[in-house]
Structure 1
Amino acid sequence: MVALRPLAMVVLELLHESPMHPYEIQQKIRERQLGRLTKVTVGSLYHAVEKLEKDQLIEVVETSRDGRRPERTTYQLTELGVDTFRAEVLANVSEVIPEYPRFAMAVQHLHTLRQDEAVTELRRRASALKKKLAVTDVTIAELTMQDVEPVFWIDYDYTRAMRQAELDWVERLIDRLTNGGLRWPDAVHRRIEELEEDRR
């Protein structure tokens, strides 16, 4: 099976609805805000379409010209495209695979910072998460007002739930650090103080 990049997944998702040309795909991406999980430019979209055609996941239905407008090529899914897309979705829904988020790695090494420094940075993260949650809420409200079917932006619900869970966890960690519920290793504290003393 061909490995599918996020933008290729977006293109294949839209072609499930009907054959489309890249400009129409671009309009749908903008209308439904489907670029939220991957960066979309005109160049990257056309590159994704070309690769999908080369991999025989989509095929040309027709090429047409409307007046003086540029020629437009309409694509549709192939049987291989449907099967490949379906396999990718099924695998990513059901399989729990290792992911390596930067924040989890930073948390693993948090004890190498001064405790007050860790609290300051965690408070900054909590503030940033609150802002992102507010933006997500506004976007969900806009999509709802535009009557975009919720099934097309269900990942926003997922993203919001994950951010809320992270915010709750970060706030609990801040509380543990400020109320003595979590103690920094003495050896690390001493080493940090020694290094800071050497710099003076």
Structure 2
Amino acid sequence: MNSARLFVLSILARRGPMHGYQIRQEAKLDRTELWTDIKPGSLYNVLHRMEQVNFVEVVRTERGGGGNSPERTVYAITDEGRAELLIQRDAALRDVRVRPDPVDLALQYVPDLSEQELRDAIDARRQALLANLAMMQQEHRTARPYLTGLEPMLFEHNLARLRAEIAWHEALLEELPTLLADT
């Protein structure tokens, strides 16, 4: 499953032909970086690769906003792209995975750290997660009046994941003295 491919094909299927900058703006508007691994800047490369395999096609080149603005290539989804969209969507709905967190590996190799150094590192992660949670909650409050369909539950999914991570870090901090005594 390719998240960027799924996003671009979905946007083109839903909104019709668009140029890369419009697709990038849609990604920013949808805040895709909050709930996927998609980076808006990578979407141009995705478009070019999908053109090579005939999932999208160039329908025109246009220049907007006056003579100084760059030419923009407008893409449309092809029939092959619509078939790929269904494959990507169905794969994403079936694919259940919780990505490994590198902290789990790092925690296996901390005997050279004092308890306080380890506590500080874990607490810094917890603080970063709390900041992410606060930001996501603010995004949710701002977006709430405009959310439709399944969008409210997408926010809830991300909020729940952040809360679970925070709870795990807090439990680790609480148990740390006992866990380190066992080593």
TM-score, normalising length: structure 2:
0.78
In the alignment, what sits opposite 1:128? 128
Taking the aligned partners of 1:176 and 1:21, their CA distance within structure 2 comes to: 52
In the alignment, what sits opposite 1:163? 162
Are the structure 2 counterparts of residues 11 and 159 from structure 1 closer, same or farther at C-alpha, using a change threshold of 3 Å? same
Aligned-pair identity (%): 25
Taking the aligned partners of 1:168 and 1:98, their CA distance within structure 2 comes to: 16
In the alignment, what sits opposite 2:114? 114
* Conserved 8 A contact 1:140-1:156: yes
Gaps of 5+ in 1: 187-200
Taking the aligned partners of 1:172 and 1:98, their CA distance within structure 2 comes to: 20
* Conserved 8 A contact 2:19-2:72: yes
The residue identity in structure 1 corresponding to 2:140 is I
Question: Equivalent residues in 2 for 1:67-78 (5 A)?
Answer: 68=67, 70-78=70-78
Taking the aligned partners of 2:98 and 2:159, their CA distance within structure 1 comes to: 21
Deviations along 1:80-129, one digit per CA (max 9) or x if unpaired, are 22222322332233234574321222234455633333222222221111
Taking the aligned partners of 2:121 and 2:97, their CA distance within structure 1 comes to: 29
* Conserved 8 A contact 1:111-1:185: no
| 1:47 matches 2:48 | no
Higher alpha-carbon Rg: 1
Deviates more, 1:104-113 or 1:75-84: 104-113
The root-mean-square deviation of aligned C-alpha atoms, in Å, is 2.8
How far did 1:14 drift?
Answer: 0.6
Aligned residues: 178
SS at match of 1:82: helix
In the alignment, what sits opposite 1:83? 83
How far did 1:132 drift?
Answer: 0.8
How far did 1:136 drift?
Answer: 0.6
SS at match of 1:17: helix
In the alignment, what sits opposite 1:175? 174
Taking the aligned partners of 1:185 and 1:27, their CA distance within structure 2 comes to: 52
Taking the aligned partners of 2:151 and 2:74, their CA distance within structure 1 comes to: 22
In the alignment, what sits opposite 1:16? 13
In the alignment, what sits opposite 2:32? 34
Gaps of 5+ in 2: none
